[in-house]
Amino acid sequence: MKLSDLAAKVGATFAPDAGNIEISGLASLADANPGDLSFFGNPKYIAALRKSRASAILVPEALQEPLTPALLTVADPAAAFEAILPLFRPAALEHPPGVHPSACVSPEATLGEDCSISAFVVVEAGARIGARCVLEAHTHVGRETTIGDDCHMYPHASVRERCTIGNRVTLHNGVVIGADGFGYEFREGRQQKIPQTGTVQIDDDVEIGANSAVDRARFGRTWIQCGTKIDNLVQIGHNVTIGKHCILCAQVGISGSTRIGDYVTLAGKVGLSGHIEIGDRVMIGAMSGLAKNVPSDTIMFGAPAQPIREYKENYALLKNIRKLYSRVKELEKKAG
């Protein structure tokens, strides 16, 4: 496409002599080649911007830097790039309505209109599937489970018995919803399993990444509220509550009965112990370990995690501990 056509699509301004540049693909700043369009939206990528071989780059209005590529100036480069992306990517895969002959759908299950049920799917008795849902190959829906409208289960995702899934929920490959919570008591010289009789409730517009697990409650429910997005390889223990519009990055682990507020961000490999409460809008940095309650609007980091200001101060002191140790030794020698 011509650069002028792309500029019109997102309301961008550009140098008049750049309108006829041909754009044939999209790429990151580092990977772009002539013919590609890229975008710059974060100052930490300024070095990549200066070296980029892209033919054109979407940039913010405040940028004042001479560059070789043609510049498309917009208010939000990332949003503009996202709007252009569908013009260059392959069409979305279609999932025609119908039930594959190899699927096993109980006659006591209910399917909404226009559902797509692929090969080797199992839907057990009493399950209710909403309208326009897509269940890809080898997915499993347990007895008396309810799934809302417009949900998508990728291959090998599983929702066990008596769970409740809202509308527009996406479960990627290998997700397991409703496995038993990890509950045991040591009695008579052995670990005795505690029955996990509760359920899992997942509200609207939740997305859960590949090979993540959400355990059922010991009693009551494990609850993930609307709009929360969960990365791959995340473990959520029994009776955990996660609030609205949270972000959980890869390899987060949350122990049982922890309660997390709204708009919380847990970075990669964060670990939370059980029976603690995290307030709203809390951010916890990567690889942090947390074992106590955190009030709202707090940034935590470290293992054990502490408020970010304290962590920075303590880290600076810790870096100099060898020098301090040497000075103390010298003073001890002088003091005899």
Calculate the CA 124 to chain-centre distance.
Answer: 29
Omega within 30 of 0 (cis) for the link into 304: yes
Closest CA to 208 of 183, 229, 178: 229
Calculate the CA 107 to chain-centre distance.
Answer: 36
CB atoms within 10 A of CB 51: 10
Determine which one of 138, 238, 245, 275 is catalytic: 238
> In the annotation, is 238 catalytic?
yes
CB atoms within 10 A of CB 189: 5
Angle at 300 between CA 294 and CA 302, to 5 degrees: 120
DSSP state string for 143-175: TT-EE-TT-EE-TT-EE-TT-EE-TT-EE-TT-
Task: Please measure the distance between the N-terminal and C-terminal CA atoms of the chain and give it in whole angstroms.
Answer: 82
Residues making up the chain, counted from first to last = 336
- Pull the structure tokens for residue 134: 């897509």
d(CA 96, CA 248): 32
Closest CA to 180 of 199, 196, 163: 196
Active site positions, annotated? 238
